[in-house]
Amino acid sequence: MNREILRLAVPNIISNLSVPLLSLVDVALMGHLDSAEYILTIGFGVMIFNFVYWSFGFLRMGTTGFTAQEFGRQDNKECLLILGRALLIAMAGASLLIIFKAPILKLSLLLIGTTPDVNTYVADYFNIRILAAPATISLFAFTGWFFGMQNARIPMVLTITVNLLNIGFSYWFVRVAGMKSEGVALGTLIAQYCGLIMALAFFYKNYRHLLPFLNKFDLFDINKMKRFLKENSDILIRTLCLIFAFSFFKIQSGKEGVILASANIILLEFIMLSAYGIDGFSFAAESIVGKYFGAGDAGNFRNAIKVSFQWGIGISIILVLLFFFFGREILQTLTDNQEVINSAIPFMGWLIIAPIIHAVPFIWDGVYIGVTASRAMRNTMLISTFLFFLPTYYLFHNVMGNHALWLALTLLMLARGISQTILARYVVFNRLK
């Protein structure tokens, strides 16, 4: 089981870590410009697209769970049809985003409520990056499908290549062509479409033998489409709550002033690094747990869950040590603004404990997705957000200041992990004995 999980998890970790690397490079490119406002621009710009694009992140997670179960049942036809349904939803969603881009931007800037200069920079960034919607959302569907087919190599190659292209293009546009935040957005736009072309090529090379199974009547099967949408709607609500929490964190940070807000945004990159490292085993759990659940193999099903947790917690311990011993050095690579660095140091303690606390809910997410128990995952997220995260911030902000934001985020993850652990007996283990 260790070998099977590592076969999927290691490519996931390698590809996942390239995602925060991209974000770190974007922050670093802006962090070495002449104003801290450019750091805020990237922070707020990424926040908007976390809402805009990761609202469709359910296509990655939901597609993995459904595909893994059909893979376990050896139903090649349904595996292909799941991809087709996911791509139809991706194209419809991307079209709506582009059509309504103006009101989305207006509402986003209203909620951010930052300085006029930052608003201008964010608008420049948004108007370019939104055009990547068809490629970005379709890549969610392809990536989830490849994972469900027990193939972590293709998503790894896709993610690393897209992010390296993104870094290269962004660096050139900013450092060589002299552009600002719009250069980072343009680099992302080009890289995403390169990734979509690669995904199509990988599918044709490795899975074109499935194409004869494609049938438009089966593709639009009402009952199966409704089940796909229902399961994914629960994942969507869960994802929106998580994005809301991080966005709320950034918006409230912006009210603390440019320097402290920039420090918080840089520190959040540590959280993203932690999340993407541990998520390698969460993604592996989605694929393997889903496969054994679909095959009805209770022994390997339970063993896959146990081993996923062992590896996920092990990775989190390594990250704790990394942040403890090298936190200041990482800060200095992201910005040479000493005021921002000095403002970030007092909050490093929250980051040191974060990986251990985050590991439990992240791995449970993978398990819940693998058995398509999205309703329970949704409910634990709602409870954690509205009964723990928000009340904690509003109760303690006047006393603790910026520390209240970090306490709220920590309790959000802790509440998720505890509630998912309690519910797992009923929604995970009792479904396959």
What tens digit of pLDDT does each residue of 331-343 get? 777 677 788 888 8
Our count of domains for the chain comes to 1
- For residue 114, give the amino acid letter: T
Q: What is the C-alpha separation between 282 and 273, in angstroms, rounded?
A: 14
pLDDT of residue 309: 93
Domain residue limits at 17: 2-431
Pick from 246, 290, 15: nearest CA to 153? 15
Block residue for tokens 């893994």: 68
Q: What is the C-alpha separation between 105 and 111, in angstroms, rounded?
A: 10
What tens digit of pLDDT does each residue of 357-390 get? 999 999 999 899 888 888 899 999 999 999 999 9
Residue 339: both structure tokens together: 């005021």
Cβ atoms of 194 and 159 within 8 Å: the answer is: no
> Going by C-beta distance under 8 Å and a sequence separation of 6 or more, which residues neighbour residue 241?
381, 382, 384, 385
> Residue 128, CB half-sphere, CA atoms under 13 Å: how many?
22
Block residue for tokens 């709220």: 408
Q: Where are the beta strands (DSSP E) in 90-219?
A: none
What tens digit of pLDDT does each residue of 81-136 get? 999 999 999 999 999 999 999 998 888 888 776 677 777 878 888 899 899 999 99
Looking at every residue in the chain, the average pLDDT score rounds to 84
Q: What is the C-alpha separation between 210 and 218, in angstroms, rounded?
A: 14
What percent of the chain lies above the pLDDT cut of 70?
90
